[in-house]
Structure 1
Amino acid sequence: MKLDLNGINADSLVQMLKASFTLENWEGILQIADRLYSEINHLYSVKQLERADVQRLSVHGLNRSIVYYFGYSMCLKGIALEKLGRFDEARECITKYEELGWISGIDAEGWAEVEYYREIAQANRYIIELQEGNTAVLPDYLLYLRNNEEEVLPGVLYILDSAIKHEYNVNHVLDEFSEQIAAMAEYYVTKRNIRYYIDYFYMTAKYYALQGNLADAVNTLLHSLETSIKLKDDTGFRKSAALFEKLRNQTTSDQLDKYHGLIETILDREESK
């Protein structure tokens, strides 16, 4: 479905991208990202014609450095393309944000954004390689994660996704980062990274099931469901419940009782509305 994005300013488009990411609306992200890139490119062209300082762009309502919008639009588009399996197109997006130093009049904030997108571009190349089954890049990607704490959770998710698709063992990755992720739980929730946080449990459970570790798979799913209810994350709950149903015949009576209790919690919440 084609979105009507006319008349929406750059910062509102950014918020739409974030919401679409949370909802895993990859096709929507493609449209919004293109619109944001077009909008910010227009503003930059106007600025060039006026020979104005970048700060003059604040009159157009921009809340952040113009570098951020160029980078964010193509970064989110690249992620969406990667999620859709369109890897070559995702690589094309990476080339658009890996070097943003060409933008004139960049201030200190802008140069920080240039450096950020330069680093994230290399990381996202590793991710595409992993999605294609090239596990040779895993040590380099793990090194990147060790040096970038905020990228640990999404990074582990990408590794789990690759391990599930290509059926290889990443127990050592879970062992290395599980305590760090648990310690940063509050950060992930308060910084609106709920989608990453819930998906971590869901993907870990899916990985355990593939590895034949059914007890840990089901227990992790129950934790995912419990956390989804607590954080009111419907997307996460639906995904975890669907996987639980697939594994239902391999659960213990205690696990099944806990699952039924969680379902009752949801029903009670709905009836009280």
Structure 2
Amino acid sequence: MSPATTIRAEIINHLERFGHSFSSFGQATGINKGVISAILNKNPPKPISVRQIDLITKALGFEEGALYDLFVEECFANEKPNGRRIGSFLIRCSELGKEDTIAQVLNRLMENLTYLTLVFSLAEKLYTSGQTKESIIYYKCVAEHERYQHSERLAISQYRIFRASIGLDAERNMEVALQFALYCKRLPESYQLDALSQISNIYYAMNKWDKVEQYTDELIVLSNIVLQSEKRRTIGKRPIEHLITEKPLVYYYGYGYLLKGVVLEHQGRYEEGMAAVSLYADLSWIDGLDQQGRVWMEKFQMWAVANTYTLQILMGNVSILPEYTQLLQDNPKEVLPGLSTIIKSANQHGFLVDDILEKFKDAIQGYQRDLLSKLCNGYEDVFNRLRYANLCYQIAIYQFDNKKYREGMKFIFQSLTIYANINKKKEIIDSMSLFEKYRSCALQEELEEYDIIIKRGCNNEISEISGGYINSCY
């Protein structure tokens, strides 16, 4: 007996077992008795809709979606399957998490590649409604079966997969970025702007400054081109379609130069970094700023002030510390990167910042609670974890240099734990090396805590690279 017949057999069996007539079963399901008769008796039988199979399933006492595997044959009963009905069915399967059924339907659909348009439209519908996870199986289907490697549809599908694949594992993120990079320039400009910023962020998290610079330069060039195109659109006589982007254009322009400044900072090219900062300090000249655009303009203005202080501090200008500290107090979201800069500069130039650490003690403890208590659930993004781990590492160096070994041990353990959680292998080794440098100053309970961190390995990342450090604990 075919699956399509089985659905009808289930209904007939239910009618016989409970003594239902078409009329009484119609009342139980909420389906007109004439429709039920046509589904069961008409030759050929009337097709069952997704809504009807849900109502029938409920009336039969089964859980939602229990008959969906059988319903697949119903969808493909005709020589030319109904795209609208299959689309509704797939969306319903996505709502119920029926991935095996979805895969079964997609495999059948791909026997005729004209249905690829339907699959892509379903993916976009799910994605734009916030159902990112549910959309990926459809995008992967498009990516696997698209015949034209330079098609926009393929590039967008690969972009969506790329975005959904970004997680807390920095090494894994870099692999994902490398796989996607081939498709970046095939995207429409509206998607390409965001893709370039995302790729830059991933390499930023891995301290791959040459790659950050490469993609940042591309972002700067493209954002300038788009801004010029938008300007021509507003003053020209011929109508040009307005570019719709995920964020306002002012964001991509400003962010490109902000990242450029960060690259120059990490390359020690502080004067050039100051020049880059000046390019996003005042973005009021950009035409067509709406409310959201003005919000970003003000953010970049504030970041320009903060990053000017950052560069001056790194050049050893300690006279601005009171002003910089006040800026951080007035802008709590800047405390994490700002403190890292101050402590790093103190370590490089040998000045004391005990008063600043005391002033921001509660903020540091707050980050510790928020991040260390949520290491396993993805609550905070990788950048906040990275910044906090960097701060802990710099504080550990500072405290060790000033012979405050208990504080140093506390912070080096925190940095080691978080670096392992986001899979930053080089930084894990740096943290372990710093501990080994001061091992002789550790108390017995600190040695034991270090052993626990190493053996636990935070998903085995530490134990894979620890080498001789574990043996040296004994």
Q: What TM-score, normalized by structure 2, do the two folds share?
A: 0.52
Pair 1:262-2:262 in alignment: no
Q: How far is the alpha carbon of 1:171 from its aligned partner?
A: 0.8
Query: C-alpha distance in 2, partners of 1:186/1:252?
Result: 24
Q: Which residue of 2 aligns with 1:57?
A: 243
Pair 1:190-2:380 in alignment: yes
Deviations 1:20-41 (A, max 9, x none): 2211222221111111011111
Query: C-alpha distance in 2, partners of 1:186/1:260?
Result: 22
Structure 1 unaligned spans of 5+: none
Deviations 1:152-190 (A, max 9, x none): 111100000110000011011111112123224466661
Q: Higher mean Cα deviation, 238-247 or 132-141? A: 238-247
| Corresponding letter in the other structure for 1:200 | L
After superposition, the Cα gap between the structure-2 partners of 1:163 and 1:116, relative to the gap in structure 1 and judged at 3 Å, is: same
Q: How far is the alpha carbon of 1:234 from its aligned partner?
A: 4.1
Query: C-alpha distance in 2, partners of 1:11/1:55?
Result: 19
Q: Higher mean Cα deviation, 128-137 or 112-121? A: 112-121
| Corresponding letter in the other structure for 2:445 | D
Deviations 1:184-230 (A, max 9, x none): 44666614311101112111101111112223212321232234445
| Corresponding letter in the other structure for 1:146 | Q
- Which of 175, 191, 197 is matched with 1:14 structurally? 197
Query: C-alpha distance in 2, partners of 1:37/1:54?
Result: 22
Query: C-alpha distance in 2, partners of 1:204/1:231?
Result: 20
| Corresponding letter in the other structure for 2:428 | F
Q: Which residue of 2 aligns with 1:106?
A: 289
Q: Higher mean Cα deviation, 185-194 or 257-266? A: 185-194
Structure 2 unaligned spans of 5+: 1-180, 372-378, 465-474
Query: C-alpha distance in 2, partners of 1:225/1:267?
Result: 10
Q: Which residue of 1 aligns with 2:35?
A: none
SS in 2 for 1:51: helix
> Relative contact order (C-alpha < 8 Å, sep 6+): which is higher?
1
Pair 1:158-2:341 in alignment: yes
- 8 Å CA contact 2:206–2:424 kept in 1: the answer is no
Pair 1:174-2:357 in alignment: yes
- Which of 410, 414, 436 is matched with 1:223 structurally? 414
SS in 2 for 1:56: coil
- Which of 137, 142, 166 is matched with 2:320 structurally? 137
Q: Higher mean Cα deviation, 139-148 or 258-267? A: 258-267
Q: What TM-score, normalized by structure 1, do the two folds share?
A: 0.88
Query: C-alpha distance in 2, partners of 1:55/1:185?
Result: 48
Q: Which residue of 1 aligns with 2:230?
A: 47
| Corresponding letter in the other structure for 1:190 | E
| Corresponding letter in the other structure for 1:56 | H
- 8 Å CA contact 2:197–2:219 kept in 1: the answer is yes
Q: Which residue of 1 aligns with 2:329?
A: 146
Deviations 1:27-75 (A, max 9, x none): 22111111101111111122222227999210xxx20000000111111
Query: C-alpha distance in 2, partners of 1:28/1:232?
Result: 19
Aligned alpha-carbon RMSD (Å): 2.6
- Which of 413, 419, 434 is matched with 1:243 structurally? 434
Pair 1:35-2:35 in alignment: no
| Corresponding letter in the other structure for 1:194 | R
Report which of the two structures shows the higher radius of gyration computed on alpha carbons: 2
Pair 1:89-2:279 in alignment: no
Q: Which residue of 2 aligns with 1:128?
A: 311
Q: How far is the alpha carbon of 1:239 from its aligned partner?
A: 2.6
Aligned residues: 267
Q: Which residue of 1 aligns with 2:140?
A: none
Query: C-alpha distance in 1, partners of 2:205/2:326?
Result: 27
